[in-house]
C-alpha cells in the first residue's frame, strides 16, 4: 500500500515531505499542452517579426516604434520562456529546485512590469502626438525614448528585487512540500505592487486616453468641416492628422486588450495575497501572459508596415544588400 501511494508522489523516496503529482488525465494533458505550446510558438514568432522589423528597417526606427519594439521584446520573453515554464509548472512536478523557482518568478515579474511601463510610455507618446502635435518632434525624440525604455527595464530589475526580497533570501519558504513552486507577497509588498503596477499606471493610461479620445473627436470633426476648402499644404496636414488618429485608435485597442488581461489578476490580488496557490492562479497567470500573444496580432491587423516588413523577412529579402533602407511605410 505504501508503494502504491508513493507512486503518486513527485519524489516517492521522500514520502513525508513530497508533493503529490498533478492529477490530470493523460489525454487531456497532452491535448492541453500541445495547444498551449502551439500558441506560444506562433506568438513568439510574431513578436520576433516585430523585433526584427523595427531593428532592421531604418524607416521604422521612430519613437513610437521603439516603444513597440520594447513591448515586443517583453512579449517575446513571455511567449518563449514564461508560458512554457508556466505550462510545465501546472501540469508536472517542479523538479528544478527552489532557486530556479524563485528565479522564474523574478524574471516573470520583471518582464510583466516592463510591459506595463511600455504601455504607459505608449499612452504618453500618443497623448503628446495628438494633443500637442506641433511640439511632438521636440518633446518626443528618439534619444529620449531610448533612454526611457532603458530606465524602465533597469527600474524593474531593481524594483522586483525589493518586492521579492524575502523570497530571494529564502527560496521556497512558501512551499508546503518538495516538488512545489509557489510564490506569495507579504501585505506591504503586495500593497506597493498593487499601487505602482496597477492603480498608478492604469490611472495614467485611462486619463491620457480619455483626453486623446476627446481631442481626436474634435480634430476629426474639424477635418470633415473643412474638407471642401483645402490647399495642397493643408491636405498634407490633414493626411498626417488622419495618420496620427489611426495610430491612436490602434494603440487604444492595444491598451484595452492590456487592461482586459491585467485587471483580473490585480483585482483578485486585493482579496487574495497568496494568488499562486489558489484554484484560479493558473487562469490569472495565463490571462496575464495571453496579452503578449495578442499584441502582435493587433500589429498584423492594424499596421500595414508590419505586414510588409514580415513579408520581406519571411522571404529572406532582408539578407539583400541595402535592404535596411527599403520603403516600408
pLDDT in tens, the chain (329 residues): 333 444 578 777 776 777 887 776 667 667 777 888 888 898 899 899 999 999 999 989 999 899 989 999 999 998 898 888 888 887 788 888 888 989 998 999 999 899 889 989 988 988 888 888 888 888 899 999 999 999 999 999 999 999 888 888 888 777 778 888 887 777 788 888 888 888 898 888 888 888 877 777 676 666 666 554 454 444 445 455 555 556 566 667 777 887 888 777 777 766 665 555 555 666 777 777 888 888 888 876 777 888 888 889 998 888 888 888 888 87
Q: What is the pLDDT of residue 40?
A: 87
In three-state form (DSSP H/G/I as H, E/B as E, the rest C), the secondary structure along 150-205 is HHHHHHHHHHHHHHCHHHHHCCCCCCCCECCCCCCCCHHHHHHHHHHHHHHHHHHH
- Listing DSSP states for 283-320 in one string gives HHHHHHHHHHHHHHHHHHHH-HHHHHHHHHHHTTGGGS
Question: With b meaning 16 or more CB within 10 Å and e meaning fewer, what string describes 222-246?
Answer: ebeeeeeeeeeeeeeebeebeebbe
Helix (H, G, I), strand (E, B) or coil at 92: coil
Rounded Cα distance, 242 and 219, in Å: 9
Tally the domains of the chain: 1
Contact (Cβ atoms closer than 8 angstroms) between residue 241 and residue 129: no
For residue 240, what pLDDT is reported? 52
Q: Residues 120, 69: contact at Cβ < 8 Å?
A: no
Q: What is the DSSP string of 109-120?
A: HHHHHHHHHHHH
The secondary structure of residue 14, as a DSSP letter, is: S
Cell representation of residue 229? 476648402
Among residues 298, 327, 319, 305, the alpha carbon closest in space to that of 46 is found at 298
Torsion angle of alpha carbons 160, 161, 162, 166, nearest 10°? 110
Phi–psi pair at 184, nearest 5 degrees: -145, 155
CB atoms within 10 A of CB 295: 27
Decide if 142 contacts 66 (C-beta within 8 A): yes
Q: Which domain holds residue 56?
A: 2-325
Distance CA 298, CA 270 (A): 30
Copy the grid coordinates of residue 215: 481631442
* 129-142: burial string, b at 16+ Cβ within 10 Å, e else: bbbeeeebeeebee
In the prediction, which pLDDT does 232 show? 44
Residue 243 C-alpha cell reads as 495618420
Look-up: residue for cell 513525508?
16
Helix 97-131 to helix 200-225 angle (10° resolution) is 30
pTM of the model: 0.83
- Amino acid 229: pLDDT: 47
- In this prediction, residue 154 carries a pLDDT of 95
Q: What is the pLDDT of residue 141?
A: 92
Spatial separation of the C-alpha atoms in residues 245 and 217, rounded to whole Å: 9
At 85, which CATH number? Answer: 1.20.1070.10
Amino acid at each position: 500500500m505504501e508503494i502504491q501511494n508513493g507512486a503518486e508522489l513527485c519524489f516517492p523516496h521522500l514520502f513525508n515531505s513530497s508533493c503529490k503529482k498533478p492529477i490530470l488525465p493523460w489525454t487531456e494533458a497532452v491535448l492541453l499542452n500541445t495547444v498551449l505550446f502551439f500558441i506560444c510558438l506562433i506568438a513568439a514568432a510574431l513578436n520576433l517579426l516585430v523585433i526584427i522589423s523595427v531593428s532592421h528597417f531604418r524607416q521604422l526606427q521612430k519613437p513610437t516604434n521603439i516603444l513597440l519594439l520594447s513591448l515586443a521584446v517583453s512579449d517575446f520573453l513571455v511567449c518563449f520562456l514564461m508560458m512554457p515554464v508556466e505550462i510545465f509548472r501546472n501540469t508536472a512536478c517542479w523538479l528544478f529546485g527552489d532557486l530556479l523557482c524563485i528565479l522564474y518568478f523574478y524574471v516573470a515579474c520583471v518582464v510583466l512590469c516592463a510591459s506595463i511601463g511600455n504601455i504607459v510610455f505608449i499612452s504618453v507618446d500618443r497623448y503628446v502626438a495628438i494633443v500637442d502635435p506641433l511640439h511632438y518632434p521636440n518633446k518626443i525624440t528618439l534619444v529620449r525614448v531610448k533612454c526611457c525604455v532603458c530606465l524602465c527595464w533597469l527600474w524593474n530589475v531593481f524594483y522586483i528585487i525589493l518586492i521579492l526580497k524575502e523570497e530571494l533570501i529564502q527560496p521556497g519558504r512558501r512551499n508546503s512540500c518538495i516538488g512545489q513552486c509557489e510564490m506569495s507577497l507579504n501585505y506591504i509588498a503586495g500593497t506597493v505592487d498593487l499601487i505602482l503596477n496597477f492603480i498608478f499606471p492604469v490611472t495614467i493610461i485611462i486619463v491620457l486616453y480619455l483626453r486623446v479620445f476627446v481631442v481626436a473627436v474634435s480634430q476629426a470633426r474639424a477635418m470633415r468641416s473643412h474638407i471642401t476648402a483645402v490647399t495642397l499644404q493643408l491636405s498634407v496636414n490633414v493626411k498626417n492628422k488622419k495618420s496620427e488618429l489611426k495610430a491612436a485608435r490602434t494603440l487604444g485597442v492595444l491598451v484595452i486588450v492590456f487592461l482586459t488581461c491585467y485587471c483580473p489578476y490585480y483585482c483578485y490580488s486585493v482579496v487574495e495575497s497568496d494568488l499562486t496557490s489558489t484554484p484560479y492562479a493558473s487562469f490569472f497567470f495565463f490571462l496575464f501572459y495571453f496579452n503578449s500573444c495578442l499584441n502582435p496580432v493587433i500589429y498584423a491587423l492594424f499596421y500595414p508596415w508590419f505586414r510588409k516588413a514580415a513579408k520581406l523577412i519571411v522571404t529572406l529579402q532582408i539578407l539583400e544588400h541595402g535592404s535596411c533602407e527599403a520603403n516600408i511605410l
